[in-house]
Structure 1
Amino acid sequence: MRASARGSRGEQTAPHPLGPELGAVQLGSFSVAVREAAARGRPLGARVETAQALHCAVLRDGIHDLRARLGEAAGGPLLVRLVIHDPGLQEVPWEALAAPGEAMRFWGTSPDLLPVRGVTTAEPWQPREVRGAVRVLAIAPSGGAALARLKEALAGPIAAGEVEWLAPIEGDAVRLPWLFDRLRCEPIPHVLHFLGHGGVQDGVPVLRLADEDGEERWLPAELLGQQLKASFRSFLRLVVLEACEGARPSVFASAAEVLARAGADAVVAHLWPIQANVARACSTQLYRALAGAGLGKGDIAVALNEARRAVLGAFEGSAEAFSPVVYLRGPNGVLFDFKGRKVAPPVSPAVVSAAARAVDPGLARIVSRRFSLLLGDRWRADRAVLDGFRDKLRTEIAKVSEPPPAGLPMSALTQLYALRRGADKLGAEFQRAFRAGAEAPPVIKALARALGPGVHTTLLRSPLLEVALAEQQPERTIHVIQPDEESTLVLRRAAGGDWEALEALPASVDLEREIVLLRLYRGYTPEQIFTRPLLTEDDYLHGFRELESALPRDLADEILSTLNSRPALIAGMSLTTWHHRMLLHRLFGRRPVPRESMALIEPDDAERELWEKGVGLPGRAGVGVVAAGDGDVAAWLGALVEAGGGRR
């Protein structure tokens, strides 16, 4: 056995042997002894001597000198990355190595050393900015006691607003494809906490899902890692595997190492099972040290050492403290950037107003999370302008031909006008009808107030939603994207600033903090500048530019993936209107509208059954329906925002 080290400044030490008394057999015996002590809830006992001998054997010669230089330069705890490729050596609890002369100066509890297990990957890394609570999503195939224990462990941070407890995935929901469907949906967690069983099958690390028809179902960790990478993009920072053998190495890699390679910045897992009360104490201290407003620094290496110390002190030096290990992908343990963070306790149901309690449950559910608004042009408040425009077109057509049939759809009426009178005259009539810049109705102002960061779509030809957003959320940066026949107009309003046209398309947008508003059918910009809208059947067929061709590829992918992962609130749209159906199909393709989406319709609307059955919707999957008047919807949205249920 040989050891060598490389410093962060490129220093490299020559390999040196650990000695004949510390070979593979002795290391294996040490691993078994620590595991057996943990199973009995006892300290290392006589095995402390082996832990101290290993400490001296590893940290000697060139490594000793390098550690001293780097420790002095660091001015604080020194991160020690253990890069171990041999599966047998990965089973060794290196975190239990101890400094000589001190009974409990273990690596895994040291204030000076932060041991982590390194992962080799080319995936990019940076801390995730978190301005509020750290979102935790638990997956519990068996639900029950383990899930309740974890929530109890997090009760303090949840009450303080430091941790947000997302609705867990439990029981039968932990099956494929339901599990992957949920992982694709908002809200996206910062931490994924798996509670269950793990193991190795045919050399492949696996995690156990919910049983099906009485048979066990197992998921390869690599497949889960691929799904997490596809679904969570840059949001996920930590995976916790509270599993029987979640970190036990296989011939390929441990489940933890596989998930870290797939894109999670860090994975905490256990080398062996621990008692329920020990697991609860470990989780309590881990999350408090990681995310606490007073103590939390977002550093998983520091937090895990804190957790081990807590277990060691609370359980009479039990070797169970060395079961949790962390696989780290990045150059340091800082997973979360808490600069500018503001933490507030969640709103208690006891102080929620009567108005908020009266809100339709479906609307309350969708507004309580990140969603995408699809705002159509079918509003009673705007009907006077549309009716006037329609009457003018009919009158002008009658001057040169037979009067158009009554009840002709707007797209067909405008198409007939363009054929009879010309597209330029149609544009002039549109400007005369819509130039006034009408005041946004209360329901649109309420929607603007409730919208959170992300991607939203408006079909209104007047910039009512854009203006309302700027008024209701002056602190928010807003991008308005309007694809034209040959180019794409992007307007940007920085927080507290004025609208400006960008000379170049942005490569990406921070959809966790900013709003992107798609104006796909064009019209007047927020500065009341006219751009030719889509009105006629030919316009919808030939004048619509797909986002993939109108935007840089990365930005288009980011926008479309957000639309496909967040539930949609569909308002002011009709399934019997051709250009509304076409928009839905162009945005979602053959994929169904995201799960838990909701359509807002008028109480006397006859389309409720169509929405619920999915007739005309992409994938023919139905959505929930809220039937209410504009006044009720505006009042409900206002109550939800006041109660803290919107604009997340």
Structure 2
Amino acid sequence: MQKQGISSVCMEIELARDGAELRVRARGSREESTSSHRLAPPLTADIRRFTAEVREAAGRGRPLGSLLATAHALHGALFRDEVATLRARLHEAAGGEPVLLRLAISDADLKAVPWEALCEPSSAMGFWGSSPDLLPARSVTTNEPWQPREVRGAVKVLAVAPSGGATLERLEGALGERIASGEVEWRDPLVGAAASLDLLRERLRRESPHVLHFLGHGRVWDGIPEIQLADAHGEEQWLPAELLGQDLKASLRGDLRLIVLEACKGAQPGAFASAAETLARSGADAVIGHLWPVDAEVARRCSEQLYRALAGREQGRGDVARSLNQARWSILAAFGGSAEAFSPVLYLRAPRSALFDFAGRSVVKPQAAVPARGGARAVDPALERLRRRPFSLVLGDRLKSERPALEGFRERLLKEIDRPPGAAPPGLPMSALAQRFALRCGADTLEAEFQHVFRAAAAIPPLFAALAQSLGPGVHTTLLRTPVLEQALAEHQPDRRIYAIQPDRESTVVLLREAGGARWERLAGNSPSIDPEEDIVVLRLYRGFRPDAAFSPPLLTEDDYLLGFRELEKALPPESADDILDTLASEPALLMGLSLHLWDHRMLLYRLFGKRPLPRRSLAVVEPEDGERELWEKGTSLPGKEGIAVIEASAEEVGVWLSEGADGGRR
């Protein structure tokens, strides 16, 4: 397709109250200026009725119908005399490209008017909001500098959805074609408790999205527009849009160019439009807000067409005004001319509507599943997606490679207690078996038996070598009582600083292997500040043999699991606790060697993630014969009661898959 041109021709219409009348004045981008003319009171009353009736038509999904006559009349009243002459000259100067129409409005009632629904006389569908020749935007004045952002690859979109659910799925589905083509990069959304201001701030510090897309509720409280986010517990938290704008200033001076405020059905009419203006005044180049909530399918169509036009590879620049006009046109065509098309409005701080510079852009499709060597199954697409971005590993003690040692330990315990009195019932869980042994023989004897079985050093299994090469900086959790993961990381990532954190009975042990170092050193007193963006952090939550060869009594019995480790936050070094918890809350988790049939594993997940759902795109790997796929997908026993994706594969297969792209998860 031929690239669309970018016009620098702009026209601004100033609308202001003058008693009972409305004053209209226009300026052009070539320093032209018109004298003002007035709209008489009868037409001003028509504007009020028009606003209410267009909103009502939108709420019912109906076209303008009889309101079209008013749309014609208002259009004619604005574009007359000197204003009409100026418009004609600017169209000629634009050389066939559309003219950006900036509406400068200070009156609150006039801001609620769907000006985008005004229509060219003698036309049934010549609306401003879908015109190929006129691109309406609400003007915002600010002293913040502006320039289009150069984008060499995909347009990065970060969604914030405190309520998650179908609304978020719908947005991702609407962007599916753009994501598959490589034109849009879908960043892991902030959902539930992760949609808090602190975590949003942290994500924006670590990443550089071009578009921030809010899905949720808005309101105007005591005259102040507010947006709903979440607190650390996933409960709703209302934040003034101005405060959010101040918090976003650093990102708005970087890559972030566009904020989209998509209102859910419960949003107060006009709240997101008011918030949009506030955010634009705070420095956002462009903000799309809604005058009223719209049907879910209409919202899907709007997002689909907006991003198709904004990020399409045929574009020379991402022109947000042109893209929104195309999205409105698509809604009108697909939904019988529904007035819902006029709900999304654009607030524009920038002097031009082209937000992105795509000169020199190279779009690359995301890689599909990679065939494994040796005739094995191809890499599962879910794992392929996960390993190509930062993720947190949660490694359980039910891996097949660990089962022989556990079974040997079980046999040693059974020799002592599998006889009267109190013989162990068949199939007794390991924690219950260890509890009986400790009650009968003592905790010291139980620990001695454990050391006898697990002390022997073994070669690092291929799975751990593959994991160690695939893991990037971040926070990873192991329930293994031997330090095989830490040893593999030290061997395969010698230039990375690695921390091992182990909550013991009385205190927390922090071990450090410096980059290029040969030893693990125990840190005394206050630990240095840990940076999960640069360092690998391993949480050793079930204790046992440490990477420095020391032994710490492991969690084995029911009492150990119940009493030995309660709150993760209190077990972490105070200087780094927030960074570690934020990483766990925001990065998707790869869960291996865990079973939802084991109560200690279920308890562990709640201690890691609290009551919030596991981060979006988290993935559980289950052995095919374990039959737990449905449990993980339904999520009844998981935090937040939300299921996650599952792949059924052996540890050997996962090791092969990871070794095929060992740098996929590295940062």
What's 2:404 paired with? none
CA distance in 1, matches of 2:335, 2:384: 47
Matched, 1:164 2:185: yes
Q: How does 1:43-122 map to 2 (within 5 A)?
A: 43-75=63-95, 76-122=97-143
Displacement after TM superposition at 1:169 (Å): 0.7
Q: How does 1:130-529 map to 2 (within 5 A)?
A: 130-177=151-198, 179-210=199-230, 216-231=236-251, 233-244=253-264, 254-295=274-315, 297-351=317-371, 368=389
Displacement after TM superposition at 1:43 (Å): 0.6
Q: Of residues 9, 30, 39 in structure 2, which corresponds to 1:18?
A: 39
What's 1:31 paired with? 51
CA distance in 2, matches of 1:83, 1:173: 37
**Cα root mean square deviation, aligned:** 4.5
Q: How does 1:524-543 map to 2 (within 5 A)?
A: none
CA distance in 1, matches of 2:378, 2:515: 22
CA distance in 2, matches of 1:609, 1:163: 49
Displacement after TM superposition at 1:572 (Å): 3.4
Given that 1:571 and 1:600 are in contact with CA atoms closer than 8 Å, whether structure 2 keeps it comes out as no
Given that 1:2 and 1:15 are in contact with CA atoms closer than 8 Å, whether structure 2 keeps it comes out as yes
Q: Secondary structure at the match of 1:83?
A: strand
Given that 1:209 and 1:217 are in contact with CA atoms closer than 8 Å, whether structure 2 keeps it comes out as yes
Displacement after TM superposition at 1:102 (Å): 0.8
- Greater mean deviation of Cα atoms: 88-97 or 256-265: 256-265
Residue 314 and residue 572 in structure 1: after superposition, are their counterparts in 2 closer, same or farther (change >3 A)? Answer: same
Given that 2:252 and 2:284 are in contact with CA atoms closer than 8 Å, whether structure 1 keeps it comes out as no
CA distance in 2, matches of 1:160, 1:335: 21
Equivalent residue letter for 2:340: E
Residue 164 and residue 313 in structure 1: after superposition, are their counterparts in 2 closer, same or farther (change >3 A)? Answer: same
Equivalent residue letter for 1:123: E
- Greater mean deviation of Cα atoms: 156-165 or 186-195: 186-195
Given that 1:265 and 1:335 are in contact with CA atoms closer than 8 Å, whether structure 2 keeps it comes out as yes
Identity of aligned residues (%): 52
Given that 2:51 and 2:114 are in contact with CA atoms closer than 8 Å, whether structure 1 keeps it comes out as yes
Given that 1:289 and 1:296 are in contact with CA atoms closer than 8 Å, whether structure 2 keeps it comes out as no
Residue 353 and residue 53 in structure 1: after superposition, are their counterparts in 2 closer, same or farther (change >3 A)? Answer: farther
What's 2:516 paired with? 572
Equivalent residue letter for 2:51: S
What's 1:542 paired with? none
Displacement after TM superposition at 1:240 (Å): 0.7
Given that 1:191 and 1:237 are in contact with CA atoms closer than 8 Å, whether structure 2 keeps it comes out as yes
Q: How does 1:606-621 map to 2 (within 5 A)?
A: 606=548
Residue 291 and residue 90 in structure 1: after superposition, are their counterparts in 2 closer, same or farther (change >3 A)? Answer: same
What's 1:598 paired with? 536
Displacement after TM superposition at 1:106 (Å): 0.4
Q: Secondary structure at the match of 2:261?
A: strand
Given that 1:246 and 1:271 are in contact with CA atoms closer than 8 Å, whether structure 2 keeps it comes out as no
Per-residue CA deviation, residues 483-524 of structure 1 (Å, 9 max, x unaligned), is xxxxxxxxxxxxxxxxxxxxxxxxxxxxxxxxxxxxxxxxxx
Q: Secondary structure at the match of 2:141?
A: coil
Given that 2:319 and 2:356 are in contact with CA atoms closer than 8 Å, whether structure 1 keeps it comes out as yes
What's 1:7 paired with? 28
For normalisation by structure 2, the TM-score amounts to 0.57
Equivalent residue letter for 1:159: A
CA distance in 2, matches of 1:265, 1:246: 24
CA distance in 1, matches of 2:270, 2:578: 44
What's 1:588 paired with? none
What's 1:562 paired with? none
Residue 46 and residue 362 in structure 1: after superposition, are their counterparts in 2 closer, same or farther (change >3 A)? Answer: closer
Equivalent residue letter for 1:192: L
CA distance in 1, matches of 2:295, 2:383: 40
Per-residue CA deviation, residues 290-315 of structure 1 (Å, 9 max, x unaligned), is 00113574100110000000000000
Residue 36 and residue 620 in structure 1: after superposition, are their counterparts in 2 closer, same or farther (change >3 A)? Answer: closer
CA distance in 2, matches of 1:169, 1:107: 35
Residue 176 and residue 332 in structure 1: after superposition, are their counterparts in 2 closer, same or farther (change >3 A)? Answer: closer
Structure 1 segments of 4 or more deviating over 6 A? 211-215, 352-359, 361-367, 607-610, 623-626, 635-638
Matched, 1:127 2:148: yes
Per-residue CA deviation, residues 447-483 of structure 1 (Å, 9 max, x unaligned), is 9xx99xxxxxxxxxxxxxxxxxxxxxxxxxxxxxxxx
Q: Secondary structure at the match of 2:143?
A: coil
Per-residue CA deviation, residues 232-258 of structure 1 (Å, 9 max, x unaligned), is 5411111111015879657x9810011
For normalisation by structure 1, the TM-score amounts to 0.59
Residue 213 and residue 297 in structure 1: after superposition, are their counterparts in 2 closer, same or farther (change >3 A)? Answer: closer
Given that 1:362 and 1:598 are in contact with CA atoms closer than 8 Å, whether structure 2 keeps it comes out as no
Per-residue CA deviation, residues 265-307 of structure 1 (Å, 9 max, x unaligned), is 1111110111001111111100000001135741001100000
Residue 362 and residue 289 in structure 1: after superposition, are their counterparts in 2 closer, same or farther (change >3 A)? Answer: closer
Displacement after TM superposition at 1:214 (Å): 9.7
Equivalent residue letter for 1:105: G
Higher strand share: 2
Per-residue CA deviation, residues 609-630 of structure 1 (Å, 9 max, x unaligned), is 99x976596679669999xxxx
Given that 1:51 and 1:97 are in contact with CA atoms closer than 8 Å, whether structure 2 keeps it comes out as yes
Q: What are structure 1's unaligned runs of at least 5 residues?
A: 372-442, 452-568, 586-591, 627-634
Per-residue CA deviation, residues 35-59 of structure 1 (Å, 9 max, x unaligned), is 1111111110111111111111111
Residue 206 and residue 357 in structure 1: after superposition, are their counterparts in 2 closer, same or farther (change >3 A)? Answer: farther
CA distance in 2, matches of 1:636, 1:324: 45
CA distance in 2, matches of 1:113, 1:639: 52
Equivalent residue letter for 2:37: H
Q: Secondary structure at the match of 1:242?
A: strand
Displacement after TM superposition at 1:129 (Å): 1.0
**Equivalenced residues, count:** 438
Q: Secondary structure at the match of 1:4?
A: strand
CA distance in 2, matches of 1:363, 1:42: 44
CA distance in 2, matches of 1:605, 1:57: 79
CA distance in 1, matches of 2:239, 2:549: 42
Residue 256 and residue 594 in structure 1: after superposition, are their counterparts in 2 closer, same or farther (change >3 A)? Answer: farther
CA distance in 1, matches of 2:211, 2:132: 25
CA distance in 1, matches of 2:144, 2:166: 36
Per-residue CA deviation, residues 71-116 of structure 1 (Å, 9 max, x unaligned), is 1111110000011111110000000110001110000111100001
Given that 1:141 and 1:210 are in contact with CA atoms closer than 8 Å, whether structure 2 keeps it comes out as yes
Q: Secondary structure at the match of 2:318?
A: coil
Q: Secondary structure at the match of 1:209?
A: strand
CA distance in 1, matches of 2:273, 2:300: 27
Displacement after TM superposition at 1:595 (Å): 6.2
CA distance in 2, matches of 1:609, 1:619: 24
What's 1:467 paired with? none
CA distance in 2, matches of 1:608, 1:180: 40
CA distance in 2, matches of 1:13, 1:29: 28
